[in-house]
Amino acid sequence: MITETIQRKSKKQQPSVRYRQQKRYYAGRPRPINVKQPRISLILVSLLFGMALGLIWVADVDAMPASPQLRQAISEGRITAPYYMRHEAELRGMGIDTPESGPLLTGINPLGKAALTGETKLLTILVDFSDKIAQVNAVKFDTLLYYNRTGTVVNYYLEVSHNNLTITTPQSPSDLGWIRAPQTYAYYVNARNGTGTYPYNSQKLVEDIVDLINPQVNFSQFDNDEDGFVDGLVIIHAGPGAEYTGSDDDIWSHQWEIIPRLRDGVYICAYSIQPEYWVSPGDMTCGVFCHELGHVFGLIDLYDTDYTSAGVGRWSLMAAGSWNGTLGSSPAHLDAYSKLCLGWGTMLTPALNLSEAAVPAVESEPIIYCLWTNGEPGNEYFLVENRQQVGYDACLPASGLFLWHIDDNVYSNSSEWWPGCGYSSHYKVALIQADGLWQLEHGANQGNAGDPFPGSSDVRQINGSGGLNTNSYSGAVTNVALTNISNSATEMTVDISVGAAQDIDDNENLMPAHITAVPNYPNPFNSSTNFRLDLTQAADVQIAIFNITGAKIKQITAGYLEPGTHSFIWDGTTDSGQKVGSGVYFYRLNINGESICKKMSLLK
């Protein structure tokens, strides 16, 4: 489990700090010019030398997945894969699909508590060319990106963030209108989808456009977190996108970076670029913009970028779900992992077994269960959510309970895995498909009704046995189990096991004879309750309190105790000192690895 939490920066920091965070982007290449740093002449010489050699700036690139239509055409041999798909390995060497964190987030932590919230201002620039003239009125993009109605970027992120994030702009696309680039479209695309060698690529296009609009734009308005960088620069280019046309002579939508340019006291660095239309002028949808903004916010691609499998398919915005609906008119919600990365979910981590745990539809109430042995996730864990075909998830292939297998030690979804493959290579975010066919990993489809639980195969349980199981990638038994999974509904129920002991009444004789554990007294209790242990020999003792969801809220004691009588008091507070409300709670007593668990009631 990544331990660094998401942190929104609240005060100005020197750009040099930012450069250190992104040092990998510029390794072996000209460093960005920072007028506040010493030895500027040396940096400038390096910059000019790099430009003279025609070097491409090393920066992470995250791209839109190929459309279903393009993938089908390629598989049927009707079209040759375009440059971007043919040169995946080479482009990865330039930083393709190896993101770290987005401009608004540092230290992405899927198990963190902080959230990307509030108002985020984006700058959207429309660009056409002498050999590719725009055909869509600029006002179309005012609506598509910034009006709050179904099918727009603003509306999508309001729904997916549960009204936590509002996309806005002080300068609409139509305020500037279509800006004519100084070079031709063919110059920037260079038959390489705009991802070729500098200056014949999209990076040079963005640099040229930034210089052109500088007199008309106050870039400082778009530094939302006051870290000295513009957070969201959205470029819309005339014509269609290569991810749909499959042509080397079109730009493939992506998020990338340029060498930072200082304007109005802030640096312009990251950008995303998307097309004017797909098939015919006026048919553009929100899916591609929502996907690329996911990268701007720090999310990674969850499709298989080498196209040997499907990744998580149509089940996430960060994969083929960005194409759901008509050409992306109803992009899927974020998967549970990505939603937690942005702090848009309530994570429950039960340390005790739960009966009939309620799992509401995540589209309306973002409850996500995080499961691992005894409720102690590390870098590997499971996430459980309920997805229904409502809102922007209306075009999902099916609905039900989704079980995700996460490994934070892996950095992409480019290495597919299924039983028998060993465990050294696998997805970062994998969907455990209820039918056990592993069709996403085999690239057989982008998701179907057999994937969620119970699904078309009516699978009502999964545990540590059988070919479809909850074992770790190394094959270790985690004791995680889901049983009695209900029918798909807006609120589902499931019995959750994480390996915790059953009630003391069922196993009280398991405690060693040299230990006497007296039940807590009083029970029920009002303000506090007492625990007593009689030890005839030293023992490793842990007493912890859990709420009704199985989440640990208080550690009473942990460590070795000498022989004798020991008493402990719980005063009805959490580890952070907060008073808890009336209700049922549990205490777990673990002595030398043997555990007992019992209910108690707090009445106020």
- pLDDT tens digit sequence for 371-410: 999 888 999 999 999 999 999 999 999 999 999 999 999 9
Q: Tens digits of per-residue pLDDT, 303-344?
A: 998 899 999 999 999 999 999 999 999 999 999 999 999 999
89 belongs to a structural domain: yes
CA distance 411 to 232: 23
- In this prediction, residue 45 carries a pLDDT of 36
Residue 147 falls within a domain, yes or no?
Answer: yes
CB 523 within 8 A of CB 529: yes
d(C-alpha 173, C-alpha 265), whole Å: 22
- Is pLDDT at 19 greater than 80 in this prediction? no
| Burial group, residue 213, by CB count within 10 angstroms (0-12, 13-18, 19+) | middle
pLDDT tens digits for 424-464? 799 999 999 999 999 999 999 999 999 999 999 999 999 99
Given a cut of 50, is residue 241 above it in pLDDT? yes
**Is the backbone of residue 554 left (phi > 0), alpha (psi -120 to 50) or beta?**
beta
User: Is 410 found in the same domain as 317?
Assistant: yes
Which pLDDT does position 59 carry in this prediction? 58
Please check whether residues 191 and 264 belong to one and the same domain: yes
Overall average pLDDT of the 344-353 stretch: 90
92 pLDDT band, cuts 50/70/90, is low
Residue with tokens 């999508």: 156
In a domain, 23, yes or no: no
Q: Is residue 238 a part of any domain in this protein?
A: yes
Please give the angle made by the CA atoms of 444, 450 and 453, to the nearest 5 degrees: 140
Q: How far apart are CA 529 and CA 602, in angstroms?
A: 9
Same domain for 108 and 187, yes or no, is yes
* pLDDT greater at residue 87 or residue 334: 334
Q: Is residue 537 part of a domain?
A: yes
> What would the mean pLDDT of 187-209 be, rounded to a whole number?
96
Q: What is the pLDDT of residues 554-602, one digit of tens each?
A: 999 878 899 989 999 999 999 999 999 998 898 888 888 777 778 898 9
- Contact call for residues 291 and 150 (beta carbons, < 8 A): no
Please report, as a single letter, which amino acid is at residue 44. Answer: L
Which tens digit of pLDDT belongs to each residue from 525-544? 988 999 988 888 888 888 99
What pLDDT was estimated at residue 291?
Answer: 96
- What pLDDT, in 10s, does the model give residues 23-48? 333 333 332 323 233 233 333 333 44
- Supply the range of the domain harboring residue 578: 529-602
Q: How confident is the model at residue 518 (pLDDT cuts 50, 70, 90)?
A: confident
Residue 176: Cβ-neighbour burial (10 angstroms; 0-12, 13-18, 19+):
middle
The answer on 450 and 411 residing in a single domain is: yes
pLDDT tens-digit readout, 244-297: 999 999 999 998 889 999 999 999 999 999 999 999 999 999 999 999 999 989
- The 10 Å Cβ neighbour count of residue 582 is 12
In DSSP terms, which residues pair with 568 in a beta bridge?
A: 531
Q: Are strands 346-348 and 367-371 parallel, antiparallel or unpaired?
A: parallel
Q: How far apart are CA 533 and CA 511, in angstroms?
A: 12
| Phi, psi dihedrals of residue 39, rounded to the nearest 5° | 55, 40
Judge whether 59 lies within some domain: no
Compare 518 and 485 and report the one with higher pLDDT. Answer: 485
The count of structural domains within the chain is 3
CA torsion angle 362 366 369 370 (round to 10): 120
Burial class (CB in 10 A: 0-12, 13-18, 19+), 345: buried
pLDDT at 6: 28
pLDDT at residue 504 tops 90:
no
Distances in Å between the Cα of 542 and the Cα atoms of 67, 480, 555 are 54, 22, 8
Q: H helices within 447-594, ranges in order? A: 504-507
Tell whether the model's pLDDT for residue 97 goes beyond 60: no
> What does each C-alpha distance from 16 to 13, 26, 31 come to in angstroms?
8, 13, 11
Based on the domain organization, do 176 and 160 belong to the same domain? yes
| Among candidate residues 276, 298, 320, the one where a domain is terminated | 298
Domain membership flag for residue 160: yes
Measure Cα distances from 326 to 247, 297, 384, 446 in Å: 21, 25, 28, 16
- Cα separation of 431 and 310, whole Å? 11
Average pLDDT, the chain: 85
pTM listed for this prediction: 0.82
pLDDT confidence bin for 137, thresholds 50/70/90: very high
- Residue 601 makes CB contacts below 8 A (sequence gap 6+) with 523, 524, 525, 583, 584, 585
Same domain, 96 and 225: yes
Strand 118-121 to strand 165-168: parallel, antiparallel, or no bridges (unpaired)? parallel
Confirm if 46 and 30 have CB atoms less than 8 A apart: yes
Q: Which residues contact 365 (CB under 8 A, 6 or more apart)?
A: none
pLDDT at res. 16: 32
Same domain, 582 and 553: yes
For 47-73, the DSSP string reads HHHHHHHTPPP---BEEPPPPHHHHHH
User: Please, which pLDDT band fits residue 187 given cuts at 50, 70 and 90?
Assistant: very high
CB-facing half-sphere around the CA of 179: CA atoms within 13 A: 24
For residue 67, is pLDDT > 80? yes
- Pairing outcome for strands 123-128 and 233-237: parallel
Considering the domain architecture, whether residues 326 and 475 belong to the same structural domain is answered as yes
Same domain assignment for residues 490 and 533: no
**Peptide bond connecting 522 to the previous residue in cis, omega within 30 degrees of 0:** yes
What interhelical angle do 153-160 and 287-296 show, nearest 10? 60
Residue 79's pLDDT is 94
Q: Assign 556 to helix, strand or coil.
A: strand
Who wins on pLDDT, 353 or 93? 353
Q: What is the CATH number of the domain that holds 589?
A: 2.60.40.4070
Q: Residue type at 180?
A: R
What single-letter amino acid sits at 325?
A: G
- DSSP labels for 199-243? TSSHHHHHHHHHHHHGGG--GGGG-TT-SSB---EEEEESS--HH
Final residue belonging to a domain, choices 462, 488, 503: 503
In the prediction, which pLDDT does 227 show? 92
Of 254, 275, 298, which marks where a domain is finished?
298
Q: Output the pLDDT for position 323.
A: 99
Asked if residue 243 has pLDDT above 80, the reply is yes
For residue 521, the cross-strand partners are: 530
| Sign (positive or negative) of CA dihedral 403, 408, 414, 418 | negative
**Closest C-alpha among 480, 482, 481, 478 to residue 492:** 482
509 inside domain: no
Q: Are residues 403 and 533 in the same domain?
A: no
Please check whether residues 446 and 587 belong to one and the same domain.
Answer: no
Is 380 found in the same domain as 315?
yes
